[in-house]
Amino acid sequence: LTSSPTSSGLHIIFIAAEMAPVAKVGGLGDVITGLGKALQKRGHLVEIILPKYDCMQYDRVQELRALDVVVESYFDGRLFQNKVWVGTVEGLPVYFIEPHHPDKFFWREQFYGECDDFKRFSFFSRAALELLLQAGKKPDIIHCHDWQTAFVAPLYWDLYAPKGLNSARICFTCHNFEYQGTAQASELASCGLDVQQLNRPDRMQDNSTHDRINPVKGAIVFSNIVTTVSPSYAQEVRTAEGGKGLHSTLNFHSKKFVGILNGIDTDIWNPATDTFLKVQYNANDLKGKAENKVALRRHLALSFSDSKQPLVGCITRLVPQKGVHLIRHAIYRTLELGGQFVLLGSSPVPHIQREFEGIANHFENHDHIRLILKYDESLSHSIYAASDMFIIPSIFEPCGLTQMIAMRYGSVPIARKTGGLNDSVFDFDDDTIPLQFRNGYTFLNPDEQGLNGALGRAFNHYKNNPESWNQLVHKDMSMDWSWDSSALQYEELYAKSVARARTATSRV
């Protein structure tokens, strides 16, 4: 934690609610670690601030220790103490904030989904800034992510820059505009923000419900840089259909808004070194992939009599965004086409979880279908390695990581053309795309016919032209989905913003 940036490096603070593998719900967790490591590798000092959840994977934090100092932060008219812990996750220095608040904000046995999430995360956002102020840090960039830490942007300019924490530019990344964290305007006062000043149409007022405030909108208005996680999604959210009510705000602030495609952490997601796998393998030696297929089929008690029977995988949060009706359809369609299907997923939506439990029970001892309805990191690696095809039929998809991970493990993606899927999966049969980019099968309409078309073409290819299929698998595994080029884009945005601020200060 005493490391410092190289002479040309920036000091970057990430404030976030997730970080893989210690506190991961979905892609946000992967991005914090993957982007953080890539920036660190480029010579920047990256430090991360997270809540200290009770349900974290503590065995994945190295050298965790409590600091002697206690950070006091304001909430609801008084000061609360926060114990601060430091440790290292995947080589990155992390501060964990443990609030001593009677509501035990991060002792809930889950990361999100609590009825007081607004309170929990507005408290955390303020405590994180307080930590930076009291530790005397002078970061160049404070990068906050999603609605849970969107409060950082208005808090910084309204309260913390005047207190002297004024070295930084603020970057906000929205990983999914579906989640905006709106609340009754009065609730904003708890973290010390001025409701009257902020509940205005050009500031934090929600665009459709005027007595509510919208943290994501606030971060768009108050940040120096606003990004989202793919160029196509950045276009989509600027339209009335895709913007979830924020398109006008994004259009107004379009000069500072850009879409940068996420990468994946190619150290964690590497079939050549992955210790979760039965056998490691690489693009030039696919025997190991076949052995992983046998191992998974055995493990899940699926039939393994036909090694040429294609295995379709799907790993996802089961929420409407992911096209749950199409996932369900794909299970039955795969069976009709003579394939096997493995789904790993869980749902925060009770009726969806119940529906899939019904399907799981229906296929309980089936030779060709298995549904595993839980979060399981180790099993996810085995499924990427074992599957021949991977299905991602999202209704919308800000970036999506599973298609990139699937390709790295030689599983050909079958994806709906939307958001980040549109920027990373290119149809094998599309003559308008240069051959070297064609890496999967895509469909446009989010309906059963659309999915049937793409899945059917993939099955035909797999069954009728195995040699060409193997070349496709080899090509997919050799594609570069690392963070390298995307981290460079973030670095350029940060550097430009810092340079602009310095020029402005030197003029006064």
In angstroms, what is the minimal distance from the CB of 1 to ligand ADP? 27
Nearer Cβ to ligand ADP, position 310 or 345?
A: 345
Encoding tokens for residue 26?
A: 């979905």
Q: Nearer to ligand ADP by C-beta: 223 or 262?
A: 262
**Backbone phi, then psi, for 21, in 5-degree steps?**
-95, 5
Q: H-type helices in 338-386, by residue range?
A: 350-362, 377-386
Interface residues with ligand ADP (CB under 6 A)?
Answer: 26-27, 30, 315-317, 344-346, 375-377, 380, 399-402
Instruction: Enter the DSSP assignment of 433.
Output: S
Q: Which two tokens stand for residue 276?
A: 């979760």
Task: Point out the residue whose Cβ comes nearest to ligand ADP.
Answer: 27
- Please, are residues 408 and 477 in contact by the beta-carbon 8 Å criterion? yes
Residue 387 is classified by DSSP as -
CB of 351 to ligand ADP, least distance (A): 18
Nearer to ligand ADP (CB atom), residue 154 or residue 345: 345
Shortest distance, CB of residue 32 to ligand ADP, whole angstroms? 12
Task: CB nearer to ligand ADP: give 108 or 317.
Answer: 317
Q: For the CB of residue 312, give the shortest distance to ligand ADP in the complex, in Å.
A: 16
Least distance to ligand ADP from the beta carbon of 12, Å? 22
CA 413, CA 391: separation in Å to the nearest integer? 6
Between 193 and 379, CB nearer to ligand ADP? 379
Q: How many helices (H) and strands (E) does the chain have?
A: 17, 17
Residue 215 or 420: the one with the smaller Cβ distance to ligand ADP is: 420
- The Cα 58–Cα 195 span in angstroms is 38
Alpha-carbon distance 153 to 221, whole Å? 8
Q: Which of 282, 285, 279, 284 has its CA nearest to residue 266?
A: 282
* Least Å from the CB of residue 164 to ligand ADP: 36
Query: Smallest distance, Å, CB 344 to ligand ADP?
Result: 5
Residues 6 or more apart from 219 whose CB is under 8 A from it?
144, 147, 150, 151, 152, 153, 154, 172, 174, 226
Rounded to a whole number of angstroms, the minimum distance from the CB of residue 150 to ligand ADP is: 17
Q: Which of 119, 135, 131 is nearest to 192 (CA)?
A: 119
Which CB atom, from 149 or from 402, has the smaller least distance to ligand ADP? 402
Measured from the CB atom, the residue of 30 and 274 that comes closer to ligand ADP is 30
Give helix 484-507 / helix 27-41 axis angle, nearest 10°: 70
How far apart (Å, rounded) are the C-alpha atoms in residues 352 and 329?
14
